[in-house]
């Protein structure tokens, strides 16, 4: 493993200009829970500005994959680079990666004891050292962008699921991340609220945000994704452009998965 990291380090110093540093690079990543292998030799590269949709059956390791990217889950083996920073367990690298990435969870995970605005300004103030006035301006900018500036003084519990998820997106954006990670952002929502969240995500995609989304919204995937990553039993089974993936899935597993999901 040390050999691998040496050669990649050399490659980076020898040819810094030749290829752009990818937003995410995973090489032979393993993650175990006891005897269970949640990620099994995963390789993944995400270029800057690329929109990736990760799909696959339940328990296939999608959440684990995305959570390893910002080190909420610690990978056991292999290499992960985010914007060229290696997740090698050094505190400063982990912090740097987390500052570059925003994450949106299935269950929103807003802080229930803080107002929408307080949720949004906490990290900009305590991590980036913004003054309260600056942080408020920033928060209002992004709350306007997700179309809920009028809810700023409310508590999360007073909002609908769709509104809460849009606040969660705004909160993440307030840290001005370079990469946005979404873990089934619409799965916990009532059907009529799915659209407003997907619209928000589409807008982000149009602005060129690098995105990795775990989602079963195949309409969204078709429309927005540059590439679909299909996972099964901890492995990346296939990757292809949406067109290709939906029309001609290569693996049997992807075919049965698509049969189940598209109806």
Partner 1 sequence: MSHFSPTAAVSYFFNYFLMKGVLVTIGLTVAAVVGGLILGMGIALLRMSSNPLLAGAARFYIWFFRGTPLLIQLVVIYSGLPQLGIKFSVITCALVGLILNEAAYLAEIVRSGFMAVSAGQREAAWALSLSPWVTFRRVTLPQAFRLMIPPLGNSINSLLKATSLASVISVEELMRRSDMLMQEHFQILEVYAAATAYYLILTSAWDALQRRLEKHFGRSSAAKTRRVAASAPVAQASVEARA
Which CB, 182 or 230, lies closer to partner 1?
Answer: 182
Q: Which residues bind ligand ATP (CB under 6 A)?
A: 33, 36, 38, 56, 58-64
Q: Are the C-beta atoms of 213 and 185 separated by less than 8 Å?
A: yes
Among 27, 141, 155, 233, which residue sits at the site for partner 1 (rule: CB under 8 A)? 155
Q: Are the C-beta atoms of 51 and 211 separated by less than 8 Å?
A: yes
Tell me if residue 71 falls in helix, strand or coil: coil
Which CB, 50 or 183, lies closer to Mg ion?
Answer: 183
> Least distance (Å) from ligand ATP to the CB of residue 54?
8
> Least distance (Å) from partner 1 to the CB of residue 113?
5
Nearest alpha-carbon partner for 49 in 205, 221, 241: 205
> Distance between CA atoms of 215 and 30, rounded to whole angstroms?
22
Of 52-111, binders to partner 1 (CB under 8 A) are 67, 70-72, 95, 98-99, 101-103, 105, 107, 109-111
Among 169, 172, 198, 237, which residue sits at the site for partner 1 (rule: CB under 8 A)? 172
Which CB, 41 or 134, lies closer to ligand ATP?
Answer: 41
Binding partner of residue 38 among Mg ion, partner 1, ligand ATP, none, CB cut-off 5 to 8 Å per kind: ligand ATP
What residues are paired with 177 via a beta bridge? none
Nearest alpha-carbon partner for 54 in 250, 216, 201: 216
Nearest alpha-carbon partner for 201 in 175, 220, 222, 214: 220
What values do phi and psi take at 39, rounded to 5? -125, 125
Binding partner of residue 59 among ligand ATP, partner 1, Mg ion, none, CB cut-off 5 to 8 Å per kind: ligand ATP
Is 123 near partner 1 (CB under 8 A)? yes
Is 142 near partner 1 (CB under 8 A)? no
> Least distance (Å) from partner 1 to the CB of residue 58?
18
Residues 6 or more apart whose Cβ sits within 8 Å of residue 219: none
> Least distance (Å) from Mg ion to the CB of residue 217?
14
Residues 6 or more apart whose Cβ sits within 8 Å of residue 210: 23, 46, 47, 48, 49, 50, 51, 178, 179, 180
Which CB, 70 or 119, lies closer to ligand ATP?
Answer: 70
Nearest alpha-carbon partner for 186 in 177, 175, 173, 195: 195
Signed CA dihedral, 7, 87, 70, 133: sign only? negative
Binding partner of residue 242 among Mg ion, ligand ATP, partner 1, none, CB cut-off 5 to 8 Å per kind: none
Q: Which residues bind Mg ion (CB under 5 A)?
A: 63
Is 182 near partner 1 (CB under 8 A)? no
Binding site for partner 1 (CB under 8 A): 67, 70-72, 95, 98-99, 101-103, 105, 107, 109-115, 122-123, 126-127, 155-158, 171-172, 175
């Amino acid at each position: 493993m040390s050999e691998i990291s040496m050669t990649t380090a050399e490659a980076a110093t020898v040819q810094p200009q030749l290829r752009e540093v990818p937003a995410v690079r995973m090489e032979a990543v393993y993650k175990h829970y006891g005897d269970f292998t949640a990620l099994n030799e995963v390789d993944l590269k995400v270029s800057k500005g690329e929109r990736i949709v990760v799909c696959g059956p339940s328990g296939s390791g999608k959440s684990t994959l995305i959570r390893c990217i910002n080190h909420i889950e610690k990978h056991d083996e292999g290499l992960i680079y985010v914007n060229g920073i290696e997740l090698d367990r050094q505190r400063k690298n982990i912090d740097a990666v987390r500052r570059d990435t925003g994450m949106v969870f299935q269950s929103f995970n807003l802080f229930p004891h803080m107002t929408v605005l307080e949720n949004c300004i906490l990290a900009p103030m305590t991590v980036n050292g913004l003054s309260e006035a600056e942080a408020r301006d920033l928060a209002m900018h992004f709350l306007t962008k997700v179309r809920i500036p009028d809810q700023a003084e409310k508590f999360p519990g007073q909002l609908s699921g769709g509104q809460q998820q849009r606040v969660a997106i705004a909160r993440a954006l307030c840290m001005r991340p370079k990469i946005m990670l979404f873990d089934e952002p619409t799965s916990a929502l009532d059907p009529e609220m799915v659209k407003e969240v997907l619209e928000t995500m589409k807008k982000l995609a149009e602005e060129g945000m690098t995105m990795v989304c775990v989602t079963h919204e195949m309409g969204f995937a078709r429309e927005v994704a540059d590439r679909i990553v299909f996972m099964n039993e901890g492995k990346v089974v296939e990757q292809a452009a949406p067109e290709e993936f939906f029309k001609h899935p290569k693996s049997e597993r992807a075919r049965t998965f698509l049969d189940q999901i598209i109806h």
